[in-house]
Chains A and B, each alone.
Chain A
Amino acid sequence: MPIYGDGNKTEKGYTYINRFFPRVDARDKVTGRAKYAGDLDFPGMLIGGALFSPYAHAQVTYINVDKARQIPGVHCVMTFEDLKKEKSWGYYTFMSSRLRYQGDVSAIVAAEDWESLQKALKSIEIEYKELPAVFTPEEALKPGAPLVHENDPECEGNIWSHSRYKVRKGDVDAAFETCDHILERVYRTDPVEHAYMETEAAVAVPDTTASGIMTVYAGCVNPFFTRRWVADVLGVSRAKIRVVQQTVGGSFGGKEELMGLTASRAALLASATGRPVKMVMTREESIIASTKRHPFTIKYKLGTNNEGKIQAFQAEVIENVGAFHMHEFMNFRAAVHAAGVYEIPNVKVDVYGVFTNTVTAGAMRGYSSPQLIFGSEQLYEEMAEELGMDYMEFKRLNMLKQGGTNACGQVMDAPIILPEILDKLFDKTDFENKRKAYLNQSDTLKRKGIGMAMFYRGCGLGAEAPDASAGSVVVHDDGTVMINSGLVENGQGMKTAFTQIVAETLSIPPDVIHFIGVDTNTIPDSGITAASRTTVMGSQSVKLAAEELKGYLLETAAMMFHATPEAVELKDGMFKLIGVPDAVIPFQVVANVHHWTGQQAGVMRWFKPPHLDYDMKEGFGKAFPTYAYGSVIAEVEVDMQTGEINVEKITCGHDLGTVINNKTVIGQIYGGVLMGQGYAIMEKLLIKDGIIRTDNFDTYMIGTSMDVPEIDAVLFESDDAAGTYGAKSVGEPSTEGVAAAIISAITNATGIRIRRIPINKVDMLSILHHSNDDTVEGGQARLKSRTDL
């Protein structure tokens, strides 16, 4: 398959996509003019704040806000007693007397300035009764454990029933009976923080006229979800809430729950005071109350025959979802992907979430894949070791191939370019030679290691939810074009990608195209900007709208040429009469005539991908329209004395289908690699008894420029019709296999299996010096043999 950038030319014959185009929002961002929600100012605007729980689990036994209300500059103090409705869709409470984790709120305040707000929050007289709490699934699943949600029909004890998803293929029990080798292992992952640079912020502006529309300016991952919560907490219809999307300072899946709560709380205060209210989370509030990447406990059982063919795969995936949750759909993705990119005849996967009194879990770049790729890729290495086989030989033997079926029985009819990706990356890194050479370093204190991970990812939402979205394209009388979409720019570059896609479809230069952001009053609910669905699926509606609009414009041009529309083409901003060289009319001239002759100047289209025949109840069928393939090679150096791990180089290859914008893709990969590296060896979120101790960047460490390894990103293109112009996902694939590859490299360097991530230098030191061969349950173990890696 072709590699984008080889010979520095595109293979696919496109004009405006498949190449670099500067980001359409970059000028505002480099000049500081871009407005994030926290930058907005309105006349009479108040500052809002919230009283968060000091405990992991507590009941408020007394609250008195009289003193707080007396503070000069304070306009409103509300408590849970003032709410008509404590919670909305998805468990989370706007305010409550029962505080189920540190991020829960019992009161909110609006004041004229930050100082009086802080004084008021401190003046609230409140007494708590601390309640028994559970922090891990192990504790939460013990008989008689304190319940996070009592009398809840959606719970079995602390298990969230709605979160149960499974995959079933063949008969694992029968298959295990016949297996020559069986391996059981437990892998664990701990929560990590999104660490978007902008914290959650919203400004709610009430309208006191009869229309009564509350406008909320916010930077959401899903403005329609924010609208749902705000409408619900105010007890008004969706039509009375308008969410206007602001520039988003990063999301990575995270600007949903706390963003919605922040907007809702600001709206409550705005509604009560009749004044605009701005609420911005401090970094500490953002870290304690926002969701984290789901902590997983993964219990595997794997069976093979003597030749190394996998016969049966069984996994129980238990998630610590924290106190609240609304991402049961993640478990569909987790169930489908748990076994990785391998062909296995018998598969049984069960996934479920357990409530605890700890920080809540939510979508974070990968939506289960960084955890599962780490676990399963290590598992396969361990199995190969058991068999005395080279792990690459084992992986290649069992790799999913075109025409085969994946874990949930989906026939993989599109090309699988993984073998090409592996060959290229192995060649570039001299993988096999290095891997073998690094096994003989027992005398060195600084040991090199090389490791790999390979993976696939279902593109878009798949059978998880309708992957539908709206898009519109409008042409103005001066020849400028305006795009609107129900999906959001959160830094990933979607506005630029969509602009290029419309430019390609219409065949006009991108610089006449403008993209307004989401205003929920102007476009139907298009769901969440997540699942790496935006370019692949979300831009389809915009493309359809552009195609339809182009048809109308061709009719106008045909009228001007006194020809039929079939005789006219639009190419690079010029309408041309086919076969007549001088018969040319510029786009803007036709657009002007189009307007003044009353032709249709705008189109809104809806896109819903073809139905997928997937049976959720049985856990079997066609789960995703298509899959993107990738691999990561990591090269590390481990200091055996200090535990320091230096990631020297990451080489990765991704199946992009069609590259829309090469520099944007590369930029996403670079950022994804660093985030994945943090997940392996840096980002430790310290939680003691449900209270987060690392609540700012002085204690929660994310990578700086000094931590970035050399990164070689190879962009593979393939032919796959499912996505817009054949594009596939990259936002999440860029990060999902990185931790797995780094851990594989550490094993190559040290001979130690890491079965729990993230680890930091201190953990590594302790592993190096206190490694225990007997520990298999999420502990670490030395390899039995260093020669069979």
Chain B
Amino acid sequence: MILHLTVNGKNVETQISPEQTLLSVIRGNLKMTGTKIGCMVGECGACTVILNGKAVKSCVVNAAQCEGMEVRTVEGLANGEELHPLQQAFIDHNAVQCGYCTSGFLMTAVAFLEQNPNPSRDEIKKAISGNLCRCTGYIQIEEAIEGYIAERDKPKEVPDNETKENAAEETVEAAAS
């Protein structure tokens, strides 16, 4: 059968068999390997993608039932070379070690933050509790999510400041020359 999906904003159609999982379609048919295989029983969350706005474990989602749906994977987070701010926060807060669980955590967190943009630490803990990580002990992942929120809510720099900084730089340059 033919499956139609929107994957990271692009329409795709692909030939599938009725028993295929969404994970197998993403990794096998679409050759997108950022989404990982961890347990195949829906326990570890390494395969988490966002399906119609909800984080799902794609190893236990039947692909045929996703006809016409919108899928977001880790490959769709960055805009070219420009990282999604949550990806940057994961780097800045050392939330990545072996990295195998990372895409699952990112997708879980992105979907969660869309539902709940200002969560408490406990809500973050609960939100990521369906994803397993053996390296980090989760704390730096939680700090990264909090760090992303803090960065997002920072007042944007006012042009005034920029002007002042530029002026300061010019002065330095002038002094140097």
- Indicate which residue in B44, B74, B100, B134 contacts A36 across the interface (CB closer than 8 Å): B100
Q: Is B138 a contact partner of A696 (Cβ separation < 8 A)?
A: no
Q: Verify B138–A491 contact, CB threshold 8 A.
A: no
Residues of chain A within 8 A of B132, CB atoms compared: 195, 197, 697, 702, 704
Does A649 lie at the interface of the complex (its beta carbon under 8 Å from any beta carbon of B)?
A: no
Whether the pair A39, B44 counts as a contact (CB closer than 8 A) is no
Contact of B139 among A32, A252, A697, A711 (CB under 8 A): A711
Pick from A248, A283, A667, A672: contact of B38, CB below 8 A: A283
Question: Which bracket fits the contact residues of A?
Answer: 35 or more
In the bound complex, residues from chain A placing their C-beta under 8 Å from that of B136 are 667, 670-671
On whether the beta carbons of A249 and B98 are closer than 8 Å, the reply is yes
Q: A32-B33, A197-B132, A673-B137 are in contact. Are A491 and B75 (CB under 8 A)?
A: no
1/0 per residue, CB under 8 A from A, across B41-83: the answer is: 1011010000000000000000000000000011101100001
Which of the 9-residue segments A19-27, A121-129, A267-275, A542-550 touches chain B?
A19-27
Q: By the criterion CB–CB under 8 Å, are A39 and B33 in contact?
A: yes
Which A residues lie within 8 Å of B32 (CB)?
32
Q: Which of B78, B96, B101 contacts A23 (CB 8 A)?
A: B96
- The residues of B that contact A674 with a CB separation of less than 8 Å are 137-138
Which residues of chain A from 673 to 730 have a CB within 8 Å of any chain B CB?
A: 673-675, 696-698, 702-706, 708, 711
A198 partner, pick from B36, B125, B137, beta carbons under 8 A: B36
B144, closest chain A residue (CB): A30
Could you tell me the distance between the alpha carbons of A671 and B135 in the complex, rounded to whole angstroms?
A: 5
Q: Which residues of the partner chain B approach A711 to less than 8 Å between Cβ atoms?
A: 137, 139
Q: Does A396 contact B (CB under 8 A)?
A: no
CB contacts (< 8 Å) of A703 on chain B: these are 137
Is A490 part of the contact surface with B, judged by Cβ < 8 Å?
A: yes
Q: Are A670 and B100 in contact (CB under 8 A)?
A: no
Question: Which of B84-92, B112-120, B154-162, B166-174 makes up part of the contact surface?
Answer: B84-92
* Contact status B99-A698, CB under 8 Å: no
Q: Does A527 contact B (CB under 8 A)?
A: no
- A-chain residues with CB within 8 Å of residue B11 when the two chains form the complex: none
Q: Is the CB of B98 within 8 A of A30?
A: no
- Assess whether A38 is interfacial by the CB under 8 Å rule: yes
B25 within 8 A of A: no
Q: Which residues 431-469 of A have a CB within 8 angstroms of B? A: none
Q: Report the minimal beta-carbon distance from B48 to chain A, rounded to whole angstroms.
A: 12
Cα distance A672–B131 in the bound complex, in angstroms:
18
Let me know if A646 is at the binding interface, CB within 8 A: no
B90 → chain A closest CB, angstroms = 5
Cross-chain contact A33 with B34 (CB below 8 angstroms): yes
Give A31's nearest chain B residue, CB to CB: B78
Task: Say yes or no: A25-B99 contact (C-beta < 8 A), given A283-B39, A671-B136.
Answer: yes
A30-B96 contact, Cβ under 8 Å, with A39-B33, A696-B43: yes
Does A663 make an interface contact (CB < 8 A)? yes
Interface size, B (range): 35 or more
The interface residues of chain B lying within 8 Å CB-to-CB of A38 are 33, 37
* B-contact 0/1 string along A6-35, CB 8 Å cutoff: 000000000000001011011111111111
Q: A30-B91, A38-B37 are in contact. Are A250 and B96 (CB under 8 A)?
A: no
Q: Does B97 sit within 8 A of A, measured CB to CB?
A: yes
Determine how close the nearest CB of chain B comes to the CB of A91; give it in whole angstroms: 27
Residues on A with beta carbons closer than 8 Å to the beta carbon of B141 = 705
Kindly state whether residue A356 has any CB partner on chain B within 8 Å.
no
Tell me, rounded to whole Å, the shortest Cβ–Cβ distance linking A206 to chain B.
Answer: 22
Answer yes or no: B133 CB below 8 A from chain A CBs.
yes
Q: Is the CB of A697 within 8 A of B91?
A: no
**A614 CB-CB contact with B under 8 Å:** no
B27: nearest chain-A partner, CB-CB: A39
Return A286 CB to nearest CB of chain B, in Å.
10
User: For window 474-513 of chain A, which residues contact chain B by CB distance below 8 Å?
Assistant: 490-493
Task: Give chain A nearest CB distance to B112 CB in angstroms.
Answer: 12
| Centre residue among B87, B91, B96, B133 by max chain A CB count within 10 A | B96
Which residues on B sit within 8 Å (CB–CB) of A194? Answer: 134
Cα distance A1–B98 in the bound complex, in angstroms = 32
**Cα–Cα distance between A36 and B31 once the two chains are bound (Å):** 14
A80 at the interface (CB under 8 A from B): no
Tell me which residues across on chain B come within 8 A of A600, comparing CB atoms: none
Q: Of A30, A31, A492, A705, which is within 8 A of B128 by CB?
A: A705
Q: Which of B75, B77, B94, B99 contacts A20 (CB 8 A)?
A: B94
* With A22-B92, A39-B33: A708-B139 Cβ-Cβ less than 8 Å: yes
Choose among A28, A667, A698 the residue with the greatest number of B CB atoms under 10 Å from its CB: A667
CB interface residues, A 548-606, toward B, < 8 Å? none
- B125 x A705 contact (CB < 8 A): yes
Q: Tell me the complex Cα distance, A702–B101, Å.
A: 14
Question: Is A393 on the interface with B (CB-CB < 8 A)?
Answer: no
Q: Is A279 an interface residue (CB 8 A)?
A: no
**Residue numbers in A under 8 Å from B31 (CB-CB):** 41
A30-B87, A197-B38, A670-B139 in contact; A663/B98 too (CB < 8 A)?
no
- CB-CB contacts below 8 Å: A242-280 with B: 247-252, 280
A697 with B36: CB separation less than 8 A = no
A280 / chain B contacts, CB cutoff of 8 Å: 37
**Residue of B at shortest CB range from A38?**
B37
Q: How far is the CB of B166 from chain A (nearest CB, A)?
A: 25
| Contact partner, A248, options B98, B103, B126, Cβ 8 Å | B98
> In the bound complex, do residue A697 and residue B41 qualify as a contact, i.e. CB atoms below 8 Å apart?
yes
The docked-state distance in angstroms from the alpha carbon of A705 to that of B97 is 16
* A280 to B98 alpha-carbon distance, docked (Å): 18
Contact: B75 with A31, CB < 8 Å?
yes
**7 tightest A-B contacts by CB?**
A32-B34, A491-B98, A29-B99, A670-B137, A249-B100, A39-B33, A32-B74
Q: List 13 A-B contacts (CB under 8 A).
A: A26-B91, A29-B99, A30-B102, A32-B33, A198-B100, A247-B99, A249-B99, A250-B97, A283-B41, A491-B100, A667-B94, A671-B137, A697-B38
**Apart from A30-B102, A195-B132, 10 more pairs, CB < 8 Å:** A30-B106, A31-B77, A194-B134, A198-B38, A283-B39, A666-B94, A670-B136, A697-B39, A697-B43, A698-B43
Q: List B residues at the A interface (Cβ < 8 Å).
A: 31-41, 43-44, 46, 73-75, 77-78, 83, 87, 90-94, 96-103, 106, 125-126, 128-142
Binding site for B on A (CB under 8 A): 20, 22-23, 25-36, 38-39, 41, 194-199, 247-252, 280, 282-283, 490-493, 663-664, 666-675, 696-698, 702-706, 708, 711
